[in-house]
Structure 1
Amino acid sequence: MSEEFNQEQTTEQSKKVKKEKSTLAMLMSGVAGGVIAALFTGGIFLNMINDEKAVSSEDSNQNEQTEQTSSEEAVPTTNLANQSSNSIGSAVEKVSDAVVGVSNIQQISLWEESDAAGTGSGVIYKKDDEYAYIVTNNHVVEAAQEVEVILTNGEHVEANVMGTDELTDLAVLRIPSDQVSTVAELGSSDDLAVGDTAIAIGNPLGQEFAGSVTQGIISGLDRAVDIDLNNDSQPDWTTNVIQTDAAINPGNSGGALINTNGQVIGINSMKIAQSQVEGIGFAIPIDDAKPVVEQLETGNEVVRPFIGISAIDLSTVPQRHIQETLQLDESVENGVVIAQVEPNSPAEESGLQQYDVVTKLNDKNIESMLDLKKYLYNETEVGEEVNVTFYREGNLQTATLVLNEQNNME
């Protein structure tokens, strides 16, 4: 997710991302725990997001272009526009009743009754004979004492929180299935291309504008965004997101980003909120969300393979430290530099050390922490043996480690 996922409206929280340090010592200054430290995405982008507040997803309008034919029986452009509008309308109609409001209810003080501390959105993605399941953002339900789902007919239904995952900013809720008539169809985010139409559905600013629809395009794929989970101004995690110019406002978080077939391709999650920035919103790719949601809906924590290192991208290290401290020649251009090795971790047991530069896991080239994360979490399992290729003081070496289990980053 370098954006903090904020709790919508009144309890909006902001978490800040720290810029790249100018020296290796500062770069190595400690990312807590775990498999991954930070992915520094570079100058302009980090400057844009350094002061941002992450708020729920934003959708911007895109004008559909119409084509004119040169044939004698040319179709009027107005008809083509109507066809495009009808296509989007059909897609929205297909899924809109499956996009619900989510109310985070807390008791603010001892002397006041519990009330909605914030609102967001959610997507009904599954239904069986007993229950219907709703995916939303973790930050929408974070710290809630109770959670209510507000259906499109205005009915409020108490929901059970089945599971939450801070790293992916996902949560799964459950309500009785007899309350639900429409279930969203999940599509594929892996098939997306930049320029594809993107439609966002959610409840910006709460229930007053429930079911709002905004249209834009897919502005970028595989965007790496750093987030600070423990609010120490250090990036703790890097999340992979879809960038869209569809308008995103408080209350949209957890809502659906859909394609023109009415299929959910992403879960709206955050935006860059700066006066000089317009139309940069992010959604969690649905193909990344699916395996997490499957674990959360059973009430289980998300299990992830664990190496036990914090690290930074080699590309962020000043050149003089690459030569003097790491002793790398110019042929080594990519990799991750180990900042810390956690005690009693697979990394320590395999002999990995601070300043080792990891360039491969098994046969997968590791050019960044995002590469490492994607490979580790998508291609490996707890208990699996992994070969690590790395440079130490300029010399190429290999090590073998067995992945442990880690439920949460500390």
Structure 2
Amino acid sequence: MNEAPGREGSGPVTLLVLLVLVTAAAVVLGRPLLAEYANGGEMAAPAPAPTSTRAGDRPSGRRPGVINIEADQGLSSMRSAGTGILMTSSGFVLTNNHVIAGATSITATDTDNRRAYRARVVGYDPANDLAVIKMDDAAGLRPAVFGDSSDVRVGDPVTAVGNAGGKGGAPAVVTGVVTSLEQTITARNQADGGSERLSGLIETDAPIKPGDSGGPLLDTDGKVIGINTAASAGPDDDGTTHKHATPSGTATATPEHRGYAIPAAGALEIARQIRAGRATGTIHIGKTALLGVQVRSNGTAFGALVDTVVPDTPADKAGVKAGGVVVALAGEAVDTPSRLTGLMLTHHPGDVVKLEWTTRDGRRHSADVRLVEGPPQ
């Protein structure tokens, strides 16, 4: 396991759930996430947005550059599935971070030529739920065309395309309209209760499903204006109903569907930084370092409580046991699991760092550990 609470898909599909898209809901969309209202239970007020003059236009339908993604979660014996957007003919793909988080191997299939490629993670930004992967030996592919997301208006017809349900094959195509802009949500992973706060999102009533995470939201010209990331939905095909928080904060069933997409402009800027190899406080470049503990909140106490220690990892070899509490890494205090995750993302495989932890009896221990390679966070 990696150092932060697990974010792997809980099933074959990902989508952060609001329901899922932030794989976010189970099939990548990636893993299932539930989107909840932000700001103390209330949806953040959107910035004033003009009403669309394109409301009568027809949705575009599917366009080139849609990639089906399958990720093996080797440390948790799971598999997730989601979607990506082909940025270049040589195989650079933009997707959601939750689609590839925890992946020990990735297969990316170009839905235009139907060829499957092994893929590697170039870099990722967990805070903004974005990642870039590279398809090995890819050439001559047909990339997607990106549009101007700053020109999006409420009422614009849109098309969402993706690997709905993680079924693979030809992408599913659904349509709707833009219902709001500049939305802020908390996307929750149904599998482990982990959550992410995302802002500046495009809201649509297009029925996005798990597995659509990372796929394109298209304008009427077929240009990518957003990256589908999370959704709240009504009854599924199996008759179950996903729930989301109402403005009052009370969970309630609803037939209304809300899908959320990261605007393309911001996503492309992050993708450019990743491809240029520019790490930041939120962007990690290259291979991911592994400590080997699965942690959770220590209640109201300081530190990251160890749930599981993966055998034959640096933490295991140092003597860390379940029930212990990680309190520092590389000389930096660890007050929460997210702090540990953030510190780990500043390191790379091969780095030697000082790990400090307490045992159940309250004794403090430390050891120098050499980090090994693990799956992306």
Indicate conservation of the 8 Å contact 2:17/2:187, yes or no: yes
Which whole-Å CA distance do the structure 1 matches of 2:194 and 2:108 have between them?
34
The correspondence for 1:160, drawn from 109, 120, 128, is 120
Conserved 8 A contact 1:98-1:183: yes
Residue in 2 that maps onto 1:125: 87
Amino acid at match of 1:117: R
Cα offsets for 1:28-71 (capped at 9, x unmatched)? xxxxxxxxxxx60654x49xxxxxxxxxxxxxxxxx987xxxxx
Picking from 262, 278, 301, the partner of 1:284 is 262
* C-alpha deviation, 1:253, in angstroms: 0.5
Unaligned runs of 5+ in 2: 1-15, 45-53, 234-241, 243-252, 284-376
User: Which residue is 1:296 aligned to?
Assistant: 274
Specify the structure having the higher radius of gyration (Cα).
Answer: 1
Change (3 A) 1:216 1:10: closer
Instruction: Give how far 1:179 is off.
Output: 4.0
Paired position in structure 1 for 2:130: 170
Which of the pair is proportionally richer in strand? 2
Q: Structure 1 CA distance, aligned partners of 2:193 and 2:143?
A: 39
1:136 matched residue in structure 2 = 95
**Is 1:204–1:252's contact at 8 Å kept on the other side of the alignment?**
yes
Equivalent-residue separation in structure 1 for 2:195 and 2:81 (angstroms): 26
The correspondence of residues 42-53 of structure 1 with structure 2, limited to 5 A, is: 42-43=41-42, 45=43
State how far apart, in whole Å, the 1-side matches of 2:209 and 2:163 are. 9
Q: Contact 1:7 / 1:142 at 8 angstroms: preserved in 2?
A: no
Aligned to 1:217: 177
Match of 2:106 in 1: 147
| TM-score with structure 2 setting the length | 0.55
Superposition pairs of residues 168-247 of structure 1, within 5 angstroms = 168-176=128-136, 178-208=138-168, 210-227=170-187, 237-247=197-207
Please tell me whether the aligned partners of residues 2 and 226 of structure 1 are also in contact (alpha carbons under 8 angstroms): no
Between the aligned partners of 1:183 and 1:139, the Cα distance in structure 2 is 22
TM-superposed CA distance for 1:13, in Å, is 5.0
The 5-angstrom pairing of residues 7-406 of structure 1 reads 7=24, 9=26, 40=39, 42-43=41-42, 45=43, 88-89=60-61, 92=62, 96-107=63-74, 117-127=79-89, 131-152=90-111, 153-176=113-136, 178-208=138-168, 210-227=170-187, 237-273=197-233, 274=242, 275-303=253-281
Amino acid at match of 1:249: K
Q: Flag structure 1 segments of 5+ consecutive residues without an equivalent.
A: 20-38, 47-63, 67-83, 306-409
Amino acid at match of 2:230: M
Change (3 A) 1:2 1:99: closer
Q: Is the 8 A contact 1:124 1:134 kept in 2?
A: yes
Quote the offset at 1:226 in angstroms: 3.0
Distance 1:100 1:265 in 2: 16
| Cα distance in 2 for residues equivalent to 1:136 and 1:197 | 22
Indicate if the aligned counterparts of 1:125 and 1:134 stay in contact, CA closer than 8 A. yes
After TM superposition, give the deviation of residue 223 of structure 1 in Å. Answer: 0.7
Q: Percent identity?
A: 28
- Count, aligned residues: 239
Range that drifts further, 232-241 or 251-260: 232-241
Q: CA deviation at 1:288?
A: 1.6
**Cα distance in structure 2, aligned partners of 1:163 and 1:218:** 30
Distance in 1 (CA, whole Å) between partners of 2:229 and 2:82 is 10
Match of 1:310 in 2: none
Note if contact 2:34-2:232 (Cα within 8 Å) is conserved in structure 1.
no
CA deviations on 1:362-385 (whole Å, 9 max, x unpaired) are xxxxxxxxxxxxxxxxxxxxxxxx
Q: Give the deviation of 1:236 after TM superposition.
A: 6.6
Contact 2:31 2:210 in 1 (8 A): no
The question of 1:6 aligning with 2:5 is answered: no
Q: Is the 8 A contact 1:157 1:175 kept in 2?
A: yes
Cα shift at 1:261: 1.2
| 8 Å CA contact retained: 2:25, 2:230 | no
SS at match of 1:287: helix
Is the 1:2–1:235 contact (alpha carbons within 8 Å) kept by the matching residues of 2? no
CA contact (8 A) 2:217 2:224 kept: yes
How far has the Cα of 1:301 moved from its partner?
2.8
In the alignment, the residues of structure 2 paired with residue 98 and residue 188 of structure 1 have an alpha-carbon distance, to the nearest angstrom, of: 17
> Is this contact kept in 1: 2:92–2:133, CA < 8 A?
yes
CA contact (8 A) 2:17 2:230 kept: no
- Where 1:193 maps in the other structure, the secondary structure is coil
Aligned residue identity for 2:151 = D
Q: Distance in 1 between matches of 2:104 and 2:72?
A: 6
The answer to whether the Cα contact below 8 Å between 2:83 and 2:212 also exists between their aligned partners in 1 is: yes
TM-score normalised by the chain length of structure 1: 0.51
